[in-house]
Amino acid sequence: MNYIGSKYKLSDFIKTSVQETVGSALTSKVFCDLFAGTGIIGRSFKALVKQVISNDLEYYSYALNRNYIGNYVSIEASDYVTELNQLEGKEGFVYKNYCTGGTSERMYFSNINGCKIDAARMQIENWKKSREINEDTYYFLLASLLESADKVANTASVYGSYLKELKKTAQKEIKIISADFEITENQHEVYNQDSNTLIKKIEGDILYLDPPYNARQYGANYHILNTIAKYDTFVPAGKTGLRPYERSNYCKKGEVALVFEELIRNAKFNYIFLSYNNEGLMTEKEIRQIMKRYGRYDLVTTAYQRFKADKTENRNHKATKTTEYLHILEK
């Protein structure tokens, strides 16, 4: 999934930094990914640690991580995936509100794909309600649908807007691909809560933090994924069909330092790792000052190429060099 702030390219750097700080033997450790997003970092530690605690405020993220982190024993769902791909499309909520053939002029998906997404989403919910599938299989299928829908979305990268013409990938008919997860011996926990609330209820060894860096609200940028995941009823607002969403204080210049220090103060973890870059709302100095109040502080950095999507059909990508800071606190 093309995701703002994804740590996919930095996962090896983060894993190495954690092991150099904590030690390479992590099998007895509890690792928490508090702002999980698509769960890339939690997934990279899942087989290495005793338990992963994963959390994110956005429901689409919860659905993805409930599968990738929460599921840890084998699931036989290939027949369900095949059936979803064979369904006839239905003119449901996505088609009516996010495709040009519906009642709106929005073009987030082709008409065919909008109907296919609706049909699949309805069927997954019907299987759950009839107890044809259990919760593990439900989130496996939901994660599979979300990622497959994202591949045919008619956007430049996020859902804050849609393209005026269907790009080539959006013209392809959706094919639901299984969201296969890593099987482990130990059970993991997945939450859908405000991070500053949850931190008071959990404890462990390693806390990894990857909060929003700037004013971009994830609830707005990925509102379509939340709509597919929740599949609830609301009145889409404005040109982009926004749904109501919670605004994170981590995206507010006047609030971010206060909520960040509150989080650090309440964290019952021995080691805290914060990913932040040189374009963030908090400066390196601010973060250092806050974290040094609570223990032994260190900092490691790496330069990497961040890509920005061009909002054209061609979507040529321009590489931008960014410095990633990994702030380390031993409480």
The Cα–Cα gap between 256 and 264 comes to 12
What kind of architecture, by CATH, is found in domain 1-56+183-212+252-314+324-331?
A: 3-Layer(aba) Sandwich (3.40)
Percentage of residues of the chain with pLDDT beyond 70: 95
Question: For 111, phi and psi rounded to 5 degrees?
Answer: -60, -40
User: 11: which 2 tokens?
Assistant: 């996962």
Domain with CATH 3.40.50.150 in the chain: 1-56+183-212+252-314+324-331
Nearest partner of 280 among 258, 254, 253, 320, judged by Cα: 253
| Burial (0-12, 13-18, 19+ Cβ within 10 Å), 91 | middle
Cβ–Cβ under 8 Å, residues 32 and 206:
yes
Question: CA nearest 136: which of 215, 226, 69?
Answer: 69
Average pLDDT of the residues of the chain? 94
Give the residues across from 33 on adjacent strands. Answer: 54, 208
pLDDT at 317 over 50: no
Selection from 137, 159, 156, 125 nearest residue 238 by Cα: 159
Cα–Cα distance for residue pair 241/132, rounded to 1 Å: 33
pLDDT exceeds cutoff 60 at 314: no
Task: Identify the residue whose tokens are 């609030």.
Answer: 255
- Residue 303 confidence class, pLDDT cut points 50, 70, 90: confident
Does an H or E element contain 270, and which?
strand 269-277
Torsion angle in degrees (nearest 10) through CA of 172, 178, 182, 185: 170
User: Which of 187, 185, 251 has the alpha carbon at shortest distance from 35?
Assistant: 251
Is the per-residue pLDDT at 319 higher than 60? no
What pLDDT digit, counting tens, does each position of 207-217 carry? 999 999 998 89
pTM: 0.93
Mean pLDDT of 292-298: 98
The pLDDT assigned to 241 comes to: 96
Q: Does residue 302 register a pLDDT over 80?
A: yes
Alpha-carbon gap, residue 301 to 324, rounded angstroms: 6
pLDDT given at position 306: 59
Higher-confidence residue of 269 and 307: namely 269
205 C-beta neighbours (distance < 10 Å), count:
17
Please give the average per-residue pLDDT across 283-312, as a whole number. 83
Instruction: Give the pLDDT confidence of 91-131 residue by residue, as tens digits.
Output: 999 999 999 999 899 999 999 999 999 999 999 999 999 99
**Cα diameter, the chain:** 59
* Alpha helices for the chain (secondary structure H): 11-22, 40-46, 59-68, 78-86, 93-98, 111-129, 135-151, 168-171, 195-198, 218-221, 223-230, 256-266, 284-292
The answer on pLDDT for 322 being more than 90 is no
pLDDT at res. 6:
85
Partners of residue 307 on adjacent β-strands: 319
pLDDT for residue 22? 97
Residue 5 has pLDDT above 90, yes or no: no
